[in-house]
Amino acid sequence: MTTELSPKRLELLKELLPGVGRVVFFHDPEDAPEGWRLTQEAAQKLGVTIQSVPYHGRNGISEALKEVAKAKPDAVFVYPDAILSAEARRLAQFWFEHSLPSMNAFPFFSDAGGLMSYGAISGEVSGMMGAQVAKILDGARPGDVPVMRATRFQLVINLQTARALGVKVPQSLLIRADRVIE
């Protein structure tokens, strides 16, 4: 559901920052073509200019971050990727140093200092994956195991980061947040 939730993430970012004009879409281009398309469509509807800043593998992150700094966007939309998971602290520090509010898919980005995240609840996804693997290990053909989709999602807002960036979080978001980091 990470791809399908891309428009919703951009909507939440726009609600947090109503005056946002330019947003960088930080992504691995080989991993995100559909997410990029959906986010572009959402950006058009929301009146946001979105700029792609791709990285190519872990070794390409530093160069891509330099491009983000040059672009001077109002905010950063981080497309979820396993490579970036290990870089959460580094990215959060970079966004903070460059006064960039960020939207991510996974709560550990907010825990690391990112401003906001919205995505499927990890425990639910892990449980579904475990159930599917168990069926396969019990002899079911992988093609016969139904695809399961997350049904519960979590909005996490890091108020410490918001205060440090001078971002006032609207009450409408705070009420809907599943977790607020004070």
Question: Could you report the per-residue pLDDT of 44-59, keeping only the tens digit for each?
Answer: 999 999 999 999 999 9
Type of residue found at 51: Q
pLDDT higher than threshold 70 for residue 97: yes
- Cα–Cα dist 72/42, whole Å: 21
First to last CA, the chain: 28
On whether both 75 and 86 belong to a single domain, the answer is yes
Spatial distance between the Cα atoms of 120 and 101, rounded to a whole number of angstroms:
21
Residues 26 and 104: their CA atoms lie apart, in Å, by 10
- Tell me the per-residue pLDDT of 12-21, one tens digit each, with 9 for 90 and over: 999 999 999 9
CATH of the domain at 90: 3.40.50.2300
Same domain, 34 and 104: yes
CB 36 within 8 A of CB 25: yes
**Same-domain pairing of 72 and 82:** yes
For residue 85, the model assigns a pLDDT of 87
Angle at 141 between CA 135 and CA 147, to 5 degrees: 65
Owning domain of residue 129:
121-151
Please tell me the total count of domains within the chain: 2
CA 156 to chain centre: 11
- Secondary structure (3-state) at 19: coil
Question: What does the alpha-carbon distance between residue 17 and residue 168 come to, in Å, rounded to a whole number?
Answer: 8
The model's pTM is 0.84
Does residue 56 sit in the same domain as residue 132?
no
Pair (80, 142) in one structural domain: no
Residue 88 domain-assigned (yes or no): yes
98 plus 67 within the same structural domain = yes
pLDDT-based confidence at residue 133 (cuts at 50, 70, 90): low
Same domain, 54 and 140: no
Q: What is the DSSP string of 57-91?
A: SGGGHHHHHHHHHHH--SEEEE---HHHHTTHHHH
pLDDT of 69 higher than 90? yes
